[in-house]
């Protein structure tokens, strides 16, 4: 079992993680006509907004209750009410997701009661708009926890039916935060190949995939509709991707009785085979020929690529589920996970990471440990470490702001796993160091070592 080493210093230097509220807002950006609302100061919202805009290169709808010194002391219920009513009047969203920050959480306000009072008192004005609460203090957790909490809160919108009428050809897919827009499109197309209708929630493939609307839309657009979320209880099965999606999948099972299957990763031949077998079982259909062909292509890529991976030392810094996905991918091709650094130590998936130990830390810890590795794997904030160490960097996760097309990269199923193999193998090939004549002559090297040892013995 992998040893998880907790954080051992009082402050992060060159932070690796992003906050819980950012993770919650990220999930809400995958809901159609939604507006994430940070309950806190303007600075909290501005920082998250900058990261989103730099990563996606898109207009990001994100608002704040703009808590000042007086509101912080006296309580923020009035600010929260005013912000919700302003958003309803000006942007007319179908959903407002209130994400708390450390400022109000530290004060210890009763957000549930405050929000219930606002919804009851302003029921007429808020008609047609759902308002949900996601408690996400910055001082705890990271993107993964925030995303999971937001999805769990969204499950609260699922309609209760008695008796329930199940739609046989419909499934729910609860993707982890680390899947790209292209991954979600691929998941939907694969489900459709079996004749299945998939409700993906949240679905950033319709909201943050680089499309340009023909008019100004102040809220999110595309993504999962509120009506579709309400209907998730009628699906035949739920597929959850990533350990952090276990909680919302369980919640949906409790609320509506929908059974679920959790996949810790979909970036390996074995895990994708299991996923495809599940779709075939649910649909009652054979595997389509084009999917079998993609599997054959992945097999060939595994054969072609493993020569470049064998014995390579990899350093990875990522959120727990993303770390597990990447580490199992590299180790499955013969590489050694020499360094594994993550954001929080709360996830049980960390004990399954194929590394001797996983350190909860920051990018300074990552850089200190990664000397001598063949490849660094983390987000764009790892680029300075890569330059100082002289080691190539593979950019993954969030944020990636110095490369284009991140959301259009596939990382799951047969196609995504194949593409990752090619990307990494090409990185290794592009950074090969030609051997010198001295290095190619083992007898000369051994002779030099013998001479040095003899000289040392004489001294």
The first and second tokens of residue 151, run together, are 């999805």
Alpha carbons 244 and 242: distance in angstroms, whole number? 5
- Mean pLDDT of the 112-127 span: 93
Q: Which domains does the chain have, with CATH numbers?
A: 8-155 (3.40.50.1980), 167-294 (3.40.50.1980), 306-430 (3.40.50.1980)
Assess whether pLDDT exceeds 80 at residue 458: no
- Mean pLDDT of the 325-330 span: 98
Q: pTM score, two decimals?
A: 0.91
Please list, residue by residue across 353-364, b when 16 or more beta carbons sit within 10 angstroms of its beta carbon and e when fewer do. Answer: bbbeebbbbbbb
pLDDT in tens, 214-272: 888 999 999 999 999 999 999 999 999 999 999 999 999 999 999 999 999 999 999 99
Instruction: Give the contacts of 432 (CB within 8 A, at least 6 positions apart).
Output: none
Identify the H or E element spanning 38: strand 34-39
pLDDT of residue 378: 97
pLDDT of residue 436: 62
Mean of all residue pLDDT scores within the chain = 91
Instruction: Give the contacts of 256 (CB within 8 A, at least 6 positions apart).
Output: 158, 160, 161, 164, 232, 233, 234
pLDDT of residue 450: 47
Assess whether pLDDT exceeds 60 at residue 456: no
pLDDT in tens, 414-440: 999 999 999 999 999 998 766 666 666
Q: How confident is the model at residue 368 (pLDDT cuts 50, 70, 90)?
A: very high
Give the neighbor-by-neighbor strand order of the sheet with 167-174: 197-200, 167-174, 235-241, 260-263
pLDDT of residue 275: 98
pLDDT in tens, 124-168: 999 999 999 999 998 889 999 999 999 999 999 999 877 788 999
pLDDT of residue 432: 79
């Amino acid at each position: 079992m992998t040893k998880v080493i907790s954080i051992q210093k009082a402050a992060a230097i060159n932070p690796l993680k992003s906050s819980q509220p950012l993770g919650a807002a990220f999930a809400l950006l995958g809901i159609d006509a939604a507006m994430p609302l940070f309950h806190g100061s303007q600075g909290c919202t501005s920082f998250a907004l900058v990261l989103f805009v730099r990563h996606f290169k898109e207009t990001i709808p994100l608002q704040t209750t703009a808590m000042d010194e007086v509101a912080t002391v006296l309580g923020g219920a009035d600010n929260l009410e005013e912000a919700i009513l302003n958003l309803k009047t000006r942007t007319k969203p179908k959903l407002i997701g209130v994400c708390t920050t450390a400022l109000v959480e530290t004060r210890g306000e009763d957000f549930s009661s405050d929000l219930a009072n606002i919804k009851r008192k302003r029921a007429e004005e808020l008609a047609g708009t759902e308002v949900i609460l996601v408690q996400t203090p910055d001082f705890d957790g990271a993107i993964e926890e925030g995303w999971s909490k937001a999805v769990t809160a969204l499950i609260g919108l699922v309609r209760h039916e008695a008796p329930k009428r199940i739609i046989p050809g419909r499934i729910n897919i609860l993707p982890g935060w680390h899947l790209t827009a292209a991954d979600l499109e691929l998941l939907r197309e694969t489900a459709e190949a079996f004749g299945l209708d998939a409700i993906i929630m949240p679905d950033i493939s319709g909201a943050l995939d680089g499309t340009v609307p023909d008019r100004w839309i102040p809220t999110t657009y595309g993504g999962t509709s509120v009506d579709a979320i309400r209907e998730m209880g009628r699906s035949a099965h739920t597929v959850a991707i990533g350990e952090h999606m276990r909680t919302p999948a369980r919640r949906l099972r409790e609320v509506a009785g929908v059974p679920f299957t959790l996949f810790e990763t979909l970036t390996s031949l074995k895990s994708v085979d299991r996923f495809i077998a599940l779709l075939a079982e649910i649909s009652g259909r054979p595997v389509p020929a084009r999917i079998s062909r993609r599997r054959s292509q992945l097999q060939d890529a595994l054969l072609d690529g493993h020569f470049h991976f064998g014995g390579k030392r990899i350093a990875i810094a990522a959120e727990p589920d993303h770390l597990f996905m990447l580490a199992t991918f590299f180790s499955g091709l013969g590489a050694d996970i020499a360094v594994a650094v993550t954001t929080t130590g709360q996830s049980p998936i960390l004990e399954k990471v194929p590394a001797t130990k996983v350190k909860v830390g920051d990018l300074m810890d990552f850089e200190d440990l990664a000397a001598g590795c063949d490849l660094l794997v983390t987000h764009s904030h790892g680029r300075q470490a890569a330059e100082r160490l002289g080691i190539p960097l593979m950019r993954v996760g969030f944020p990636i702001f110095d490369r284009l097309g991140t959301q259009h990269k596939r990382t799951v199923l047969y196609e995504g796993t194949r593409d990752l193999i090619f990307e990494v193998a090409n990185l290794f090939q592009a950074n090969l160091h030609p051997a010198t004549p001295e290095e190619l002559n083992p007898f000369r090297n051994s002779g030099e070592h013998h001479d040095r040892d003899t000289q040392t013995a004489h001294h």
